[in-house]
Amino acid sequence: MQPAQQLSAFMAAPLGLYVASRTFVYWCASAELYGFALWGRPDAADLRSLTAILDVEVRPDVAPHASLVDLRRLAGVDEGAYETLVAHLAARQAAYQSVVTRQALLRPTGLPGAVVTGFYQVMQPPYPTQVFEAPDAALRWLGLAEPTALVEELDAIVAGAMDEGVVARLCRVLVPPFAGITLEKAAAALGMSARSLQRRLQEENTTFQDEYNAAQVRAAQAALRDTDVKLTALAVEVGCASLANFSAMFRRVTGESPSDYRARHRAGERDKRR
């Protein structure tokens, strides 16, 4: 897909194009598949912009099609935005019923996910809907037999629109407690597939394991500087199987042992107080 040069051009002929805004990307992959991704904390103005573009789906010449709504990156929605969306959907239920064959919803994690799911249950869209956590499964349910390429393309489009490096975004996911954080779970939290995350990290000359270890070390360094926690307990706290594994990982990343780091930092603090 290519970015639309003008919104008017997209509204007239959206096939193969997308429109990016501050908190959303709206796209038309084919005559049979439309969708959008929404992220952050959109306000009423954002939703007014989005709902205006949604009208491209109810043009007289539009064929029946499936819809993908990707809300995995959504952090919250303010009351004005919620009311804007409700009013839009209520006014166009009949129009959507005639053209939307089914809609898959990719939900965010945590409380935003519960709110989104509840919203759809209250609204009761006039077409079949289903909630998913993984984009591949959602697109297969919508009728796409081989969704991997489209998932990766959409992930790249959204990442570009969000205009932030994947390493910076991953750092906000890799925080204590580390137990249970896997490549797949981290990718899901970032709203992308594991394969897309690996590729994006490679483009930034790093790997998931390197960033995971770096996050472990950052957490350990903070504890070594600010607390008297024993190294054995700290190893468990940052997700290492043993003290030996923790020490080896710490030395590999920093070039010194945890105890040497603590001693050096404490010595520096003493020198400052003199």
Residues 172 and 250 in one domain: yes
Return all residues near 160 (Cβ < 8 A) that are at least 6 apart.
20
Write out 8-45 in H/E/C secondary structure: HHHHHCCCCEEEECCCEEEEEEECCEEEEEEEECCCHH
Residues 141 and 217 in one domain: no
Residues 63 and 46 in one domain: yes
Looking at the 3D structure of the chain, how many domains does it have?
2
Residues 258 and 147 in one domain: no
Q: What is the mean pLDDT of the chain?
A: 88
**Distance from the Cα of residue 112 to its chain's centroid:** 12
pLDDT in tens, 109-158: 877 778 777 777 777 788 899 999 899 999 999 999 999 999 999 998 99
Query: 10 Å Cβ neighbour count for 38?
Result: 25
The answer to whether the CB of 246 falls within 8 A of the CB of 184 is no
Task: Average the pLDDT over 189-195 and give the result.
Answer: 83
Confidence of residue 271 (pLDDT cuts 50, 70, 90): low
Portion of the chain with pLDDT greater than 70, in percent: 97
Maximum mean pLDDT: which of 26-35, 36-45, 257-266: 26-35
Give pLDDT, residue 272.
58
Give pLDDT, residue 179.
80
Domain boundary among 162, 178, 213: 162
Residues 149 and 61 in one domain: yes
pLDDT in tens, 167-181: 878 888 898 888 889
Task: Average the pLDDT over 97-113 and give the result.
Answer: 89
Which residues span the domain enclosing 248? 164-274
Residues 152 and 169 in one domain: no
Residues 168 and 146 in one domain: no
Look up the CATH number of the domain holding residue 202.
1.10.10.60
Residues 87 and 168 in one domain: no
Residues 169 and 193 in one domain: yes
Predicted structure pTM score:
0.63
Q: Which two tokens stand for residue 62?
A: 């539009």
Residues 121 and 169 in one domain: no
Give pLDDT, residue 10.
92
Using the predicted structure, report yes or no on whether residue 64 has a pLDDT greater than 80.
Answer: yes
Look up the CATH number of the domain holding residue 52.
3.30.750.24
